[in-house]
Chains A and B, each alone.
Chain A
Amino acid sequence: MSLYNPVVQLENVGVSYSNGFQALTNATLQVYGRDFLGLIGPNGSGKTTLVSVILGLIKPTTGSIELFGEPISRRNLRRVGYVPQKTMLSDTIFPSTVFETVLMGRTVRTGLFRRFGKEDYRKVEQELEHLSIQDLRNRRIGELSGGQSQRVLLAKALASDPELLILDEPTSGVDTRSAAEFYDSLKHLNREHDITIMLVSHDIGLVTKLSNRVACLNGGVCFQGSTYDFKINPSILAEL
């Protein structure tokens, strides 16, 4: 796929829930290969709904969506890595070491009826080393700090060899230093490993610092363009 073909293409996507609430209206958005796209918007603007639509978790009421030039399917979802909010890891009783948690990321690559093999273990070791968490490999996931947990979830997402990585407020509740290290890793992945990144955040300063493109959401997509265009356009900020 060419860099100029969108990895994600949303055309006039609308989502309304059964109670009549319209979470998204006519959202049109393109994410291109190697983009680092920051998706920003106030609380309740539809950011998580948009991510859910891209991940196939919610079916849009109107409009169309394509991933890697095709309608969403289980096949092309395997090319997407997802890192949820930190709060997802609240279950401290879950009996899984860091190594085993990252290995879960290989589940869809390995396929049904097959056990994990040498290649899966090698990939996990590689990602642990890559994110400098190899020392944590035998620690139980519930014993980790917020920043460490998010690195583990990032390693898990990367273990599936994704071409597109979607992160939904990945460092909410994580201390500043750990968050900075986490975002350094993201920058490295985007620049050195050509992974397309879509980062959802309400932190405008962070998004403009990291991303090359910005999309603003407030019910629908009210702006999408380069980070530079976003910065020199104060009216967009006022709208948010």
Chain B
Amino acid sequence: MTDLISFLTEPFIQRAFAIGIIIAIITSVLSVFVVLKRVSLLGDGLAHSTYGGLALGLYLGLPPLWVGSLVAVLSAVGITKSQRTKRIPGDAAVALFLVLGLGAGTVLISLSRSYGFNLESLLFGSILLVTPEQVYEASLLLALVLSLVLIMFKELVFITFDETQAMAAGIRTWAYDYLFSVLTGLAVIISVPVVGVLLIAALLVLPGLASLQVSRSMRQSMLISIAFGVLSVILGLVGSIILDTASGAMIVIAALGILLTVGFSKWMKRRMILGQVML
């Protein structure tokens, strides 16, 4: 226990908690909309496109994070455009960007022959190596996401509830759709150091899905989703320190644990109510 406490005072651990909590708030806010808009695989598609972008940056000798960000934003716009024009089914559009990013990324990484490059940290995250600059960038994105969601909250809720009705009311739904996808793309690129490319989708789905099981209003589901997301990061990081395992995977396991606990409590509550009615 004393070891754990002294470990927690280390600056790199504090940075890991700071960026983990910041990213949990960003992804948890977006996750409620991701689940309700039925675009749960959007995070996966964007994460794999980002992988391609990071690999491209590495291959070209440009800053991978900048190239990855650009590819994430372009992919977000591309997926949304494909989904809105309905020329191909929405899930197929996500799959297209996913395989393109993964395939091209793997080829580019092989071609770049960068020996100092750690592929595992890209795929599964390396939160303990986070720099103060990354914490600062994540804070800026947090401010951007929270401000935009607060400003557009009532429009986002209306569009998520029923896009056709929102369009009929004169709301420019396409603009909100693109903006939401781009924000998700930025959330993905900033999340790579925490959970890695393969597990980002979990942060964009699990907190929102768990909160929707117990909340009665949109505001409530946002707050509960944030609480679940932050709790997942704290439990996951502490668990990874104690068990000496990959932090990204532990965060996802913690989030899954919360979802299962919430689902089980709900099931128990329903059974108890049913039991009382039968008596």
Binding site for B on A (CB under 8 A): 55-57, 73-75, 77-78, 80, 82, 84, 88, 91, 93-97, 100-101, 104, 107-108, 110, 112-113, 115-116, 138, 140, 160
Considering only CB atoms, which chain A residue lies closest to B213 in the complex?
Answer: A93
Pairwise interchain contact A108-B171, C-beta atoms closer than 8 A: yes
A84-B165, A93-B212, A104-B161 are contacts. A112–B217 as well, Cβ < 8 Å? no
* B interface residues (Cβ-Cβ under 8 A, vs A): 36, 151-152, 154-155, 157-158, 160-162, 164-172, 212, 215-218, 220-221
Q: Which of B157, B170, B216 lies at the interface centre, i.e. has the most chain A CB atoms within 10 A of its CB?
A: B170
With contact pairs A84-B162, A104-B158, A104-B161 given, residues A97 and B169 touching in the complex (Cβ less than 8 Å): no
The 6 closest A-B pairs by CB, nearest first: A74-B170, A77-B170, A55-B168, A82-B168, A95-B221, A95-B215
Contacts of B36 in A (CB 8 A): 91, 93-94
**A199 to B162 alpha-carbon distance, docked (Å):** 20
Q: Which of B155, B161, B171, B217 makes the CB contact (< 8 A) with A97? A: B217
Question: Which residues from chain B contact A107 at a C-beta distance below 8 Å?
Answer: 154-155, 158, 166, 169, 171
Bound complex: CA A75 to CA B167 (Å): 12
Most buried by B among A73, A100, A110: A100
Pick from B154, B166, B172, B220: contact of A110, CB below 8 A.
B154
Structural contact, A96 and B161, CB atoms closer than 8 A: yes
User: CB-CB < 8 A to A138: which residues of B?
Assistant: 216
Residues on the A chain within 8 Å of B151, using CB: 112-113
In angstroms, Cα B200 to Cα A197, docked, is 48
For the complex, what is the distance from the CA of A56 to the CA of B173, rounded to whole Å? Answer: 13
Cα distance A116–B155 in the bound complex, in angstroms: 11
Residues of the A chain whose Cβ atoms lie less than 8 Å from the Cβ of B221: 95
Q: Name A100's contact: one of B155, B167, B168, B218 (CB within 8 Å).
A: B218
The residue in A84, A91, A96 that gathers the most chain B C-beta atoms within 10 A of its C-beta is: A96
CB neighbours (8 Å) of A100 from chain B are 157, 217-218
21 chain-A/chain-B pairs, Cβ below 8 angstroms: A55-B167, A74-B171, A84-B165, A88-B165, A93-B212, A94-B36, A95-B218, A95-B221, A97-B217, A101-B161, A104-B154, A104-B158, A107-B154, A107-B158, A107-B166, A107-B169, A108-B169, A108-B170, A110-B154, A112-B151, A112-B155
Q: Is the Cβ of B164 less than 8 Å from the Cβ of A57?
A: yes
Q: How far is the CB of A50 from chain B (nearest CB, A)?
A: 13
A7 shortest CB reach to chain B, Å: 16
Q: Which of B168, B215, B218 contacts A77 (CB 8 A)?
A: B168
State in angstroms the CA–CA spacing of A96 and B212 once bound together. Answer: 10
Closest Cβ–Cβ distance, residue B158 to chain A (whole Å)? 5
- Complex contact B212–A95 (CB within 8 A): yes
Report which of A57, A78, A95, A113 forms a contact with B220, defined as CB distance below 8 A.
Answer: A95
Q: List B contacts of A57 (CB < 8 A).
A: 164, 167-168
Q: Which of B169, B171, B216, B218 counts the most chain A CB atoms within 10 A?
A: B169
Query: Which residues of chain A come closer than 8 Å to B154, judged between CB atoms?
Result: 104, 107, 110, 115-116
Which of chain B's residues have a CB closer than 8 A to the CB of A82?
165, 168-169
Which residues does chain A contribute within 8 Å of B164, judged by CB atoms? 57, 84, 88
- The smallest C-beta distance from B204 to any residue of chain A, in angstroms, reads 17
Residues of B within 8 A of A160 (CB): 169
Chain A residues within 8 Å of B152, by CB: 112
CB-defined contacts of B157 to chain A, threshold 8 Å: 96, 100, 104
CA distance in complex: A110, B169 (Å): 12
Q: Within the assembled complex, what's the spacing in Å between the Cα atoms of A57 and B161?
A: 17
User: With A and B bound together, what is the CA distance between A84 and B212 in angstroms?
Assistant: 25
Contact A88 B217 (CB under 8 A): no
Closest chain-B Cβ to A76's Cβ sits at a distance in Å of 8
- CB neighbours (8 Å) of A95 from chain B are 212, 215-218, 220-221
Query: In the complex, what residue of chain A is closest to B167 when comparing beta carbons?
Result: A57
What is the CA–CA distance of A167 and B278 in the complex, to the nearest angstrom? 41
**Assembly CA distance A115 to B216 (angstroms):** 20
